């Protein structure tokens, strides 16, 4: 990592190792706020098992905050480093909460305002920040409207965040590639 990097965006596909790599960018003993965006679903034990595996991997000294209010949490950032995992599940929650899956202009405007607030908060964050997000632009075009909407919105979010981050990494098969 370059000495001047304060904000890092870690991108990767499913099971690419992006979360574990992002966690490894921060010292295990350092003060850390882990902003977890995955929402538990009582009817999905496999998803809960994934969340549990992520939690078990984290050092006990890390403070975990389960939240969908990333902009607000980044505005409350202290001297502790911050890791956000991950932006794809955050965006899914935003689209769920705003009714944005239908693609209506009003709903997407509300979701867009939350995206704008997040990008501003990341750009203004003065503490060490590592963001994790799925790279969705390398695959086939999704067959469903909702799939295409998600791919397009997450791709646009990733591009906007890359503009305000000092460092951007792409994980492929567990290998980090420095894009910036």
Task: Please report whether residue 1 resides in a domain.
Answer: no
Question: Is 149 domain-assigned?
Answer: yes
Is residue 29 in some structural domain? yes
For the sheet containing 175-178, what is the strand order?
63-66, 32-36, 81-85, 129-134, 7-12, 167-172, 175-178
Decide if pLDDT at 117 tops 60. yes
The DSSP 8-state label assigned to residue 166 in this structure reads S
**Is the dihedral angle over the CA atoms 37, 42, 44, 141 positive or is it negative?**
negative
Residue of 7, 21, 33, 54 marked catalytic = 54
- How many domains, in total, are found in the chain? 1
pLDDT band at 1 (very low <50, low <70, confident <90, very high): very low
DSSP 46: H
The verdict on whether 21 is a catalytic residue reads no
Within 8 A by CB and 6+ apart from 88, the residues are 133, 134, 136, 154
pLDDT of the residue at 110: 84
Backbone angles phi, psi at 14, to 5 degrees: -60, 135
Is there a domain that residue 2 lies in?
no
pLDDT digits (tens, 9 = 90+) for 17-63: 999 999 999 877 888 999 999 777 888 888 788 878 877 877 788 88
pTM: 0.90
Summarised one tens digit per residue, pLDDT across range 63-113 is 889 899 999 999 886 788 999 999 999 999 999 988 888 878 888 888 899
CATH classification at residue 56: 3.40.50.300
Domain span at residue 160?
A: 7-178
């Amino acid at each position: 990592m370059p000495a001047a990097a304060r904000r890092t965006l870690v991108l990767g596909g499913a099971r690419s190792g992006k979360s574990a790599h992002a966690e490894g960018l921060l010292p295990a003993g350092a003060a850390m706020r882990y902003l977890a965006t995955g929402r538990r679903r009582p009817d999905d034990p496999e998803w809960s098992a994934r969340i549990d595996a992520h939690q078990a991997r984290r050092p006990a000294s890390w403070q975990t905050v389960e939240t969908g209010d990333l902009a607000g949490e980044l505005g409350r950032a202290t001297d502790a480093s911050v890791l956000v995992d991950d932006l794809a599940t955050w965006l899914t929650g935003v689209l769920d909460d705003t009714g944005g899956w239908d693609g209506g202009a009003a709903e997407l405007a509300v979701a867009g305002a939350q995206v704008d607030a997040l990008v501003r908060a990341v750009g203004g964050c003065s503490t060490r920040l590592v963001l994790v997000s799925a790279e969705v632009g390398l695959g086939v075009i999704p067959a469903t409207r909702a799939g295409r909407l998600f791919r397009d919105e997450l791709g646009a979010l990733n591009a906007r965040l890359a503009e305000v981050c000092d460092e951007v990494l792409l994980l492929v098969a567990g290998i980090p590639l420095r894009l910036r």
